[in-house]
Amino acid sequence: MRIAFTKIPESMDVEKFMLSAHENLFLMGLNGTHFDLVCRHLLETIQPLGVKEEIINEAISVIAPLRDIFVQGEAKTTASAKQEKKNAENEQFLLHRLGGDAALTAAVDEFYNRLISDTALSYFFEGVPMDALKEHQHKFMRLAFTEIPEDTDVEKLMYAKHYDLFYKGLNEDHFDAVAGHFVNTLQHLGVEQALIDEAVGVVAPLRVVFERGSEKRKAEMLVTEALQITEEKALAEYSQESVLVAEE
């Protein structure tokens, strides 16, 4: 107060000084509301001492601007606490334990090198920009190995993403082959077997999407074939009737 009510040195950063001096208190929850309470107690202290109103007002005008520092301190501390909590949560995610985004990028690169080298799978990647495909895979794995939002229907998402491929013959056998390359990729990169097993546990339930997708594709093809046969039969009957009418 002596400094505040005399002359603050030009070299003094009041905001920085106040934030530092109250750092531990911000961690305990100090905020703008507490600043208001302190100011009220200050007024209640000096008013009974007979201090003139104009001097009290002048003192308040010196102190009042400091409130923003307490609001700022609370905000910074809250943000820092949230970040620490997020970091702690991230450390629990499989992605972090696998090595983070850098390790995931390396895995995706190696993974797709193996996929396009497999003649049983390379057919599905013809004409597809590999950079875009890798970026999509990176995003999907990052989602799968962290925390999938509750409003995300993973099966529906996977079916939609592979819809066209089901019509190229994609099925659960291809899923098994891809999963095998995924495991081999992680082993190649030196990932611990326990983590590989955990990653497989996340991916394996998606096999049913490829089973259903393949079955649905076969059913739709049978319907299409049946409709085509019916149409050809009807056309043939119409042609025969036309001939009979012409002969008459």
Q: In which band, very low, low, confident or very high, does the pLDDT at 58 lie, cut at 50, 70 and 90?
A: confident
Q: What percent of the chain has pLDDT over 90?
A: 35
Q: Are 137 and 108 in contact (CB under 8 A)?
A: yes
Under DSSP, is residue 191 helix (H, G, I), strand (E, B) or coil? Answer: coil
- Name the nearest CA neighbour of 143 among 125, 161, 126, 117: 161
The winner for highest mean pLDDT among 4-8, 27-31, 240-244 is: 27-31
Calculate mean pLDDT across residues 175-195: 95
pTM: 0.57
Q: In which band, very low, low, confident or very high, does the pLDDT at 66 lie, cut at 50, 70 and 90?
A: confident
Residue 239: its pLDDT value, please?
Answer: 63
Residue 187: its pLDDT value, please?
Answer: 96
Asked if the model's pLDDT at residue 246 lies above 60, the reply is no
Given 3-state DSSP classes, what are the helix, strand and coil percentages for the chain, each rounded to the nearest 5? 80, 0, 20
Residue with more model confidence, 21 or 222: 21
Q: Could you read off the pLDDT of 95-126 as tens digits, one per residue?
A: 998 999 999 999 999 999 999 999 999 999 98
What amino acid is encoded at 20 in this protein?
Answer: S
Q: Sign of dihedral through CA atoms 94, 96, 99, 103?
A: positive
Asked if the model's pLDDT at residue 17 lies above 90, the reply is no
